[in-house]
A = this chain, B = another copy of it.
Amino acid sequence: MAEKTVTMERTLQKLLEEKKYNSVRDVLVTMNAADVAWVLEKTEPDETARLFRLLPRDLAAESFAEMENECRETLIRSFSDAELRQVISEMYADDAADLVEDMPAGVVQRILAAADPDMRKDINALLRYPEQSAGAMMTTEYVSLRPEMTVREAFTRIRGSAVDKETIYTCYVTADDRLLGTVSVKDLLLAKNDSVTVDSLMETNVISVETRADQEQVAQMLSRYNFLALPVVDDDGRMVGIVTFDDAMDVLEEETTEDMELMGGVTPMEKTYVRSNPWDLYKHRIPWLLLLMISATFTGMIITSFENALAAQVALTAFIPMLMDTGGNSGSQASVSIIRALSLRELEFRDILRVIWKEIRTAVMCGVTLAAACFAKIMLIDRLLLGNTDVTVIVAAVVCVTMAITVMIAKVVGCSLPMLARKIGFDPAVMASPLITTIVDALSLLVYFGIATALLF
């Protein structure tokens, strides 16, 4: 449990300081590989290697597979060639390929040298696929059966190859590398007798993905169909690997984090927040801040060009923040809903007109409510309570009409920009609040001063 591990961390810290290595080892052995990885990541680099060497072989290999890259790099640099060979030989090919992809060149050479020839071939094959594709995400270690095998033969095959496979519970029935169907261990166990053939048990209505399919789409499919694994086929329809549910869960988590970061105006980070130093945070935040600051030049220009109107009716200035914020909030409500629906594949570009129509109707209701509430607020709070006589009924009317129009613009911009982004191949999350706020700000100010000029002067 996450909670348990965190306090464990302190205990281990203490034990390490006191150099009670035997006890440290005893404590680590009681833990799950993912928790051991978590503990190791939190230690200082020179301690990481020492702790790792205390682990029994299996647990060491398993926890290595669960670690963040930074921690693994530290460890690899401290490994002897024999130690490295040991760890690599225990890894699955897809994990090893991911590792190779994320390490600097020198470390990669050592890893490839440490891998046995078969593993090296698998790693190289996986590395040929584009990053973030099904091909790069898959493992080549699955159980394949032939259609004419009996249940008894199938079990013999599964028993013989189970140790190396990421999942044995779904087996793939192939002939000449072509995927004919799937059969689960459950189906095999429930077969009437041992001599039934695999092809009479297999499910032939198989869903597969191509090697080039986007990893997020693959993960969504696994999540939607509740499969343990999804077969991957190449351009010629030959089966080349499987993507397992645990990798899909990781991808969904990563993609969600990336979407949220983009929605908050942060370029996606490779490291977690906890492992990022201020310089990392700076690098991923300053581009958006600069871009958005510069684009605020337009709002500044709009205000400057209406300077005289503002000087004559100073009361107008006081409502600028409220109009801007309401516009920004209305826009981000729409964009957030659309971005999420796009990423869950509930919406596609061709739905854009239906979406805009839905947002327009929503905007009318929101706009009217807000305008009415705003009028009441101005009359009651600003005029009566605060006694601000500059705020005339006409000023209130200008503000409220602007508000209704701003909400309308914001909702339409907020829902359509993410869909356009998807259409032209960008991540829709880029079109979230920060960018929409800037656009809506400029538009709402233009509306505001336009209406003010028409009604007040």
A positions within 8 Å CB-CB of B: 1-2, 6, 30-32, 34, 155, 158-159, 162-163, 168-169, 185-186, 189-190, 205, 207, 209, 217, 220-226, 228, 245-246, 248-250, 252-253, 256-257, 259-261, 263-266, 272-274, 277-279, 281-282, 285-286, 288-290, 292-294, 296-297, 299-301, 303-304, 307, 310-311, 314-315, 317-322, 324-326, 328-330, 332-333, 335-341, 344-348, 351, 358-359, 361-362, 365-366, 369-370, 373-374, 377, 381-382, 386, 388, 407, 432-434, 437-438, 441, 445
Q: Which chain B residue lies CB-closest to A159?
A: B189
With A340-B273, A433-B332 known as contacts, the answer to whether A318 contacts B289 (CB < 8 A) is: no
Q: Give me 14 A-to-B residue pairs in the complex whose CB atoms sit less than 8 angstroms apart, sorted by A's number.
A: A30-B205, A162-B190, A169-B169, A245-B245, A265-B332, A273-B346, A277-B358, A282-B362, A282-B365, A297-B377, A299-B325, A300-B318, A304-B386, A311-B314
| B-chain residues with CB within 8 Å of residue A249 when the two chains form the complex | 222-223, 226, 245, 248-249, 252
Residue contact B6 to A286, C-beta cutoff 8 Å: no
| B-chain residues with CB within 8 Å of residue A351 when the two chains form the complex | 274
Residue contact A344 to B253, C-beta cutoff 8 Å: yes
Q: Which chain B residue lies CB-closest to A311?
A: B314
CA distance A321 to B296 in the complex (A): 7
Residue contact B304 to A388, C-beta cutoff 8 Å: yes
Contact among B186, B248, B289, B322 with A296 in the assembled complex (CB-CB below 8 Å): B322
Contact among B162, B318, B377 with A186 in the assembled complex (CB-CB below 8 Å): B162
Residue contact A290 to B224, C-beta cutoff 8 Å: no
Residue contact A189 to B162, C-beta cutoff 8 Å: yes
**Shortest Cβ-Cβ A-B pairs, 9 listed:** A264-B336, A296-B322, A278-B361, A226-B246, A299-B321, A273-B341, A303-B318, A278-B362, A300-B318
How many copies, total?
A: 2
| B-chain residues with CB within 8 Å of residue A278 when the two chains form the complex | 358, 361-362, 365
| B-chain residues with CB within 8 Å of residue A345 when the two chains form the complex | 2
CA distance A224 to B274 in the complex (A): 17
CA distance A162 to B12 in the complex (A): 43
Q: Which chain B residue lies CB-closest to A336?
A: B264
Residue contact A326 to B30, C-beta cutoff 8 Å: no
A317, A328, A365 — most chain B CB neighbours (10 Å):
A317
Residue contact B321 to A445, C-beta cutoff 8 Å: yes
Residue contact A347 to B274, C-beta cutoff 8 Å: yes
Given A30-B205, A300-B322, A325-B441, 13 more pairs with CB closer than 8 A: A34-B224, A245-B249, A249-B252, A252-B252, A260-B339, A263-B264, A274-B351, A281-B337, A285-B362, A289-B369, A290-B370, A293-B325, A332-B433
| B-chain residues with CB within 8 Å of residue A325 when the two chains form the complex | 292-293, 296, 299, 324, 437-438, 441
